[in-house]
Amino acid sequence: MTETTGYSRSGLVLVKNPHLDLMEEDVLYHLDLGTKTHNLPAMFGDIKFVCVGGSPNRMRAFAQFMQRELGLAGAGEDVADICAGSDRYAMYRAGPVLSISHGMGIPSISIMLHELIKLLHHAKCRDVTIIRMGTSGGLGIKAGSVVITDTAVDSSFRPRFEQVVLDDVVVRSTELDKDLAEELLACSRDIPDFPTLIGHTMCTYDFYEGQGRLDGALCSFSSEKKLEYLRRAYEAGVRNIEMESTAFAALCGLCGLKAAVVCVALLDRLEGDQIRASHEVLWEYQQRPQRLIAAFIRKRLGLTRTD
């Protein structure tokens, strides 16, 4: 069974669940929010950009960065975690931008996205753009390069996400919004100090054996086998590897959210497996997707650089 992606003409998020309307309350358990305990339209109705990433510290830093970039009151001050009652995810806002952590891996981002999509639905948000900003292993590209994903692929380089529903498997498309990817690439031209490119992103269920690393607790293959696999991935168009993009593309696509994935490469996997760069270098790398996305949001909001 293959499901198709559909965007909503109204600009509203499409929850595709007939049972939701019958519930008198919806507890978004892992976000510690709910329809009876919180006024979601008042809290979130004006959100236009949702940025998600693995690390809670990084997503707090991004919200603070966006406060400065958008010239908002309170810039420079600390931001409050909207999900403080739960330590599963962290959520911050800066004007029309929501910044949320999703942890590592498909199951973790998938729980967050189900609850986020219901939140945007309950809050009656319109025309929301969602961007995952992440870290990744690069493939044949320089450490520090930023990859904008055109298509997320699985470990066999296929543009598909297999979702278990009860004990059945449903195949979902993992295409991302091409116009949005091009718009992001255009923004990167104003940021000359790091390379940005568009390519396929491979999404795996594991960081070690699943990504062909030789440095896990278990490894049953040779360095030659690993390189042969990674070279095949490169030839299939893969430019970076991470652990969330297929599920992100599939869920956002089905729910009518225009979605993009922007990840920095922390290393080139054709050169090695271990992430050895200093904290300072890694920190600067992680700011690159943030700078690109900030430029994109500023442009969309019609803000011009004055500083």
- Residues comprising the binding site for phosphate? 88, 132-135
Residues 79-89 as b or e (16 or more Cβ within 10 Å = b)? bebbbeeeebb
- 3-state class (DSSP) for residue 83: coil
**Distance between start and end Cα atoms, the chain:** 53
Residue labelled with tokens 């979601």: 40
**Candidate list 6, 7, 8, 17; residue touching a copy of itself; CB under 8 A:** 17
What is the closest distance, in whole angstroms, from the C-beta atom of residue 232 to a copy of itself in the complex?
8
Q: What is the DSSP string of 252-272?
A: HHHTT-EEEEEEEEEEETTT-
Q: Measure the CA–CA gap between 248 and 292, rounded to whole angstroms.
A: 20
| Least CB distance to a copy of itself at residue 193 (A) | 25
Nearest C-alpha neighbor of 293 from the set 249, 262, 265: 262
Nearer to a copy of itself, 197 or 219 (CB): 219
Q: Which of residues 129-158 bind a copy of itself (CB under 8 A)?
A: 155-156
251 binds a copy of itself (CB under 8 A): yes
- Of 12, 48, 88, 298, the one binding a copy of itself (CB under 8 A) is 88
Q: Which is nearer to a copy of itself, 127 or 221 (CB)?
A: 221
Which parts of this chain interact with a copy of itself (CB under 8 A)? 15-20, 23, 25-27, 29-30, 54-58, 85, 87-88, 103-108, 110-111, 113-115, 117-118, 121, 155-156, 163-167, 170, 204-210, 212, 214-221, 223, 225-226, 229, 243, 251, 254-255, 274-276, 279
